[in-house]
Structure 1
Amino acid sequence: MTKPKKLALLALAFTMFGLYKLFVVFQDMQTGCIQFQTHRTCSYENAENFQGMLDLELMLACAWAAGAVVCWMVAAQAHKQER
């Protein structure tokens, strides 16, 4: 397998995981509860703690999405250099 194909597969994995994390964030916003390890935090119990955890979850999801964009750019550059 060539280097651009390996990088494209890695970028695809980052993209899928980033989309999954964004889906989880939107689902948490809809339900009002976040599952963290074995503890479930809901917005009606402690709104400030819930909002902080939701912000952290959104930041991590955006980091995965940004990582996916960078991987796609690297894969495109490797494909261009291979020619």
Structure 2
Amino acid sequence: MIKKHEIYKKDKWNMMTVEVQGRYIVLREISDQWGEETHTFMSRPALMEWAKNRFPKEDFEGREEEWQDIMASFKQV
């Protein structure tokens, strides 16, 4: 069974989903700038490490709540 999590969705061109496929975690990021990127992780800690690098807290100055929402979504995976 594949379990799908939506990390965020601004519209159909800017979104990120994570699917848990057995022991793999597959992240799909769709953006209007870069197209679609897929990343595969072997563990949740690896996913969280990637998430912290992809969404540095400093980039969300003044939007801390948005950062916390994104991190909370990753933790639910």
State which structure, 1 or 2, has the greater radius of gyration over its C-alpha atoms. 1
TM-score scaled by length of structure 1? 0.26
Structure of greater relative contact order (alpha carbons < 8 Å, 6+ residues apart)? 1
Given the two structures, how large is their TM-score scaled by the length of structure 2? Answer: 0.27
Greater share of residues in helix? 1
